[in-house]
Amino acid sequence: MAEMPMGTLSIAPNVFWVGVKHYNRRLFDGLIPLPHGTSYNAYLVVGKDKTALIDTVNPGFEDVLVDKIKMHADPAKIDYVIMNHAEPDHAFAGKHMLSLAKNAKLVTGAKGKEAAMMYFDIPEDRIIVVDESSKLELGGKTLRFIDAPWLHWPETIFTYLEEDRILFPCDFFGSHIAYGEFYADEYGNELSVDLAKLYFAEIMMPFRKPGANAVEKVKKLGVKMIAPSHGVIWRDPNVILEPYTRWTNEKMKKKVLIAYVSMWGSTEKMAHALWEALVKKGIEVQIYDLTNSDIGHVAKELVDTPVIVVGGPTVLNGIHPVAAYPTMLVKQLRAPTKYAALLTSHGWSGGAIKAVSDLLAGTKIEIIGVVDVKGPPKKPEFEKVMALADTIEEKLKAF
Ligand code: FEO
């Protein structure tokens, strides 16, 4: 199990971070790399009359959560356990908390109620269903709720603490980092936004429309602080609201992503020639050799890149599997990519072109060029690469 420092943090009068920093977790969902670990941020709001716990922690950390709550309140006397989102990294310990606090209720939305009963066997009579008209008065602390469906599960709600103007949006505006600091500005806003972009790409990008709706709702609240349930807390909400506005509204940059894998250098030579040609045209290029790249960073580029160029040789009548992966990601993450191109090579029979076309079928992505070479690339293929650079330059004029 991870290192577990026992501290808590007061983020406002009688509002405490009581979460867990999971420093050595290296993978989320068996898929997402966590180079900086992650945190499960639970928050305790202690009113004059009642106490609420907002979100809980990942399975295995229940006792840590309880010990941290004890520093500020009696866990057996918690009145409300608020479940913004039913994924176990925030909701699993809810059942444990209800078993300790016999009179506590789980507070969630209508869909959250279904999820709590299905995933965690929470009895119906222990659940209070809230909507945007609901308020929980804790005594000098008032909690309201914002409907935020599909961010990133259907049942998601946000909790808003009126007096302190703190928003608790669970995964939304989150990031994966577990080092010693708590606030975005402590790590530096630039690094924090970059990590939030990585998180957005991996988790929220497929849900841009509900995300844009939620961002507009949050802007109307006039929040002073955004306290997600992973990673940094935003003391200046505009630092994260501004990029989230861009990312959810598909604001693109004049940028090209080249993601390639090469076996004997043919694909790589074409990828590098295209890179050089685009850079000479003044176009920003992010290029990833997929054999030594964090796939999360490739996903991050997809947030605001209109053109992706996939490079990969034919292997056994299909695309090299390492090149297939980012192509699948584009589709599964519903990236806002507008145009794609393929650089590929083969020795005796092709197959990569059909494989990539099949992988992108059903998307609105337009394939604007293919350069396929038998054996190593020579002058005719490099001329085709230059022509592809011209086509990309033309397409990017719209951004
Ligand atoms: Fe961090 Fe969707 O749970």
The residue whose C-alpha atom lies closest to atom 3 belonging to ligand 1 is 87
Contacts with 78 (C-beta within 8 Å, 6 or more apart), sequence order? 51, 52, 53, 69, 97, 100, 101, 104
Q: How far is the CA of 308 from the centre of ligand 1 (A)?
A: 28
Q: φ and ψ at 23, to 5 degrees?
A: -60, -40
Average pLDDT, the chain: 95
Where residue 196 falls (left for φ over 0; alpha for ψ -120 to 50; beta otherwise) is: alpha
Nearest by Cα to 172 from 158, 155, 161, 154:
158
Ligand 1 center–CA 229 separation, angstroms: 8
Cα–ligand 1 centroid distance for 135 (angstroms): 24
Segment holding 318, helix H or strand E: strand 318-319
- 5-248 against 256-392: fold identical: no
Ligand 1 atom at minimum distance from 229 CA: 1
Query: Is the bond preceding 272 in cis, omega lying within 30 degrees of 0?
Result: no
CATH of 5-248, one of 3.40.50.920, 3.60.15.10, 1.25.40.10, 1.10.10.10: 3.60.15.10
> What spacing in Å lies between the alpha carbon of 136 and ligand 1's midpoint?
24
Q: Give domain limits for the chain.
A: 5-248, 256-392
| Tens digits of residue pLDDT in 344-360 | 999 998 899 999 999 99
pLDDT at 6: 67
Q: Please give the CATH number for the structural domain made up of 256-392.
A: 3.40.50.360
Q: Report the pLDDT value the prediction gives residue 2, as an integer from 0 to 100.
A: 39
Which residue's CA is the closest to the ligand 1 atom numbered 2? 87
- Rounded to whole angstroms, how far apart are CA atoms 78 and 204? 31
Query: In angstroms, rounded to a whole number, what is the distance separating the alpha carbons of residues 1 and 14?
Result: 30
Give per-residue pLDDT as tens, 308-345. 999 999 999 999 999 999 999 999 999 999 999 999 99
89 lines ligand 1 (CB under 6 A): yes
CB 85 less than 6 A from any atom of ligand 1: yes
90 CB near ligand 1 (under 6 Å): yes
Which residues on neighbouring strands pair with residue 342, listed in sequence order?
310, 370
Which ligand 1 atom is the nearest neighbour of the CA of 88?
3
What's the whole-number mean pLDDT along residues 248-275?
97
pTM here is 0.95
- Residue 4 is predicted with a pLDDT of 44
The pLDDT of 206-212, averaged and rounded, is 98
Q: Which ligand 1 atom sits nearest the alpha carbon of residue 171?
A: 1
Largest distance between two CA atoms of the chain: 78
Ligand 1 pocket, 230 CB below 6 A? yes
